[in-house]
Amino acid sequence: MEIRKAEFIKSVYDYTQAKLPPMPEIALVGRSNVGKSSLINTLCTRNALAKVSSTPGKTRAVNYFCINDAFYLVDLPGYGFANVSKKEKESWGQVVNGYLEGSEQLKHLFLLMDIRREPNDDDRQMAWWAQHYQVPCTIVATKCDKIAKSKRKPQADKLSDQLSMTFRTRTICVSSLDKTGKLELISRMGEVLRQEDLTVPEQL
Ligand SMILES: Nc1nc2c(ncn2[C@@H]2O[C@H](COP(=O)(O)OP(=O)(O)OP(=O)(O)O)[C@@H](O)[C@H]2O)c(=O)[nH]1
Ligand SMILES: [Mg+2]
């Protein structure tokens, strides 16, 4: 697959209000600052399609990008940023949990993890939700430019183990700085959209 066209469509706080023409959706989720927006720009070869911020937690909405007039990439709000009130945390949970539970077009989840960090409770909660709602998932280890090439694969495999996924997931290492993994991730999108990967999550 190639990404020939990418457009920002809309930003909503409640996905049920998006009211978009139905097309398959691939969602990206991960800790705040993990590099979700940068990755969208890298995949689409655009500098500022998605806003990259130096202040973590800026993207609190659900952002829809339409790719090749054929599917949506959905940038879900990041979790785990500091200085957040309990109320805000709950509202994040409602947005993300609600989307994973209810979106009829969601085909696949890219769960982003910084390759240098251990999964925390929020990451495990995400992995649990993905399994609970039977959303097939790929673990995307971000910012891999930060560690030596030889250490990337073992580190990414470790992340995957630490998330205790009960169904088989692929792990892909990416860097928005040097474009590592860009083609592999785009080809993964093609696969999941063609539904070649018929991984059926096991019931918990
Ligand atoms: N070294 C390195 N830095 C990166 C990479 N991707 C993103 N960053 C940096 O990480 C910071 C956060 O990037 P964003 O893309 O805004 O992260 P996000 O996950 O969208 O963050 P929120 O929307 O706030 O949740 C920025 O300062 C980026 O420049 C990468 O591949 N390598
Ligand atoms: Mg963002």
CB under 5 Å of ion ligand 2: residues: 36-37, 59
**pLDDT number for residue 80:** 77
DSSP code at position 15: G
Looking at 30-34, 68-72, 175-179, 181-185, which range is the least confident one? 30-34
For 152-171, what is the mean pLDDT?
Answer: 87
Ligand 1 center from residue 142 Cα (angstroms): 9
- What residue type is 120 in one-letter code? N
**pLDDT number for residue 190:** 95
Structural domains in the chain, sorted by start: 6-194 (3.40.50.300)
For 62-87, what is the mean pLDDT?
Answer: 87
Nearest CA to ligand 1 atom 21: 33
DSSP code at position 56: T
Looking at 50-54, 77-81, 94-98, which range is the least confident one? 50-54
Ligand 1 center from residue 32 Cα (angstroms): 9
57 lines ligand 1 (CB under 6 A): yes
**pLDDT number for residue 202:** 46
- What residue type is 85 in one-letter code? S
For 39-60, what is the mean pLDDT?
Answer: 80
142 lines ligand 1 (CB under 6 A): yes
Distance, in Å, from the CA atom of 30 to the CA atom of 193, rounded to the nearest integer, reads 21
Q: Is 90 exceeded by the pLDDT of residue 78? A: no
**pLDDT number for residue 171:** 93
